Amino acid sequence: MVELNDKVVRGYLMSLVGEDGLKMIEGMPEGAVTDEEIAAKTGVLLNTVRRTLFILYENKFAVVVRERDSNSGWLTYLWHLQFSDIEHQLMKEKKKLLRNLKVRLDFEENNVFYTCPQGCVRLLFNEATETEFLCPMCGEDLVYYDNSPFVGVLKKRVDSLNSV
């Protein structure tokens, strides 16, 4: 079983399935069980259990086996969790986050911004010239926006992700 106390794993699962989904994962019985059994054991609503199982299945963290009752013909779905691939998924998420941060960093470093003192808008220089440096929302004069603190935060975040 995956270490649910690891804050990275826990945060990733929380972003996928939410608090109730995480509660379901923590309380899920061992072995192959039905969604109704999971709901009864964990105290999570059946619809939430089904939604969580589907999300986990889509991300290859849940396996389902379908069995047909020979007498009634009804299908029974038996679920069990399998987190063996979570490290690979976390690495994919890290690469995607790093790529997005680098794109945003490049955008912030290569543009000049103007903002409304009232906080209405933040515009690129070209957009500010089109409005004659007046806020399109309230009419106030736009002022130069120094985004260097934000660029510094982005650089730190990129560096910290590169070092992990």
Tell me: the pLDDT tens digits for 14-41? 999 999 999 999 999 888 999 999 999 9
The structure's pTM equals 0.70
**pLDDT for position 61:** 94
Q: Which two tokens stand for residue 41?
A: 């054991």
Tell me: the pLDDT tens digits for 48-107? 999 999 999 999 999 999 999 888 888 999 999 999 889 899 999 999 999 999 999 999
Q: Mapping DSSP to helix (H, G, I), strand (E, B) and coil, where does residue 48 land?
A: helix
**pLDDT for position 163:** 87
For β-strands 75-81 and 113-115, DSSP reports them as unpaired
**pLDDT for position 70:** 84
Are the beta carbons of 39 and 27 closer than 8 angstroms? no
Tell me: the pLDDT tens digits for 109-131? 999 999 999 999 999 999 999 99
**pLDDT grade, residue 108 (50/70/90)?**
very high
CA distance 140 to 73: 71
**pLDDT for position 157:** 95
Are the beta carbons of 61 and 86 closer than 8 angstroms? yes
**pLDDT for position 51:** 96
Predicted confidence (pLDDT) at residue 1 exceeds the cutoff of 80? no
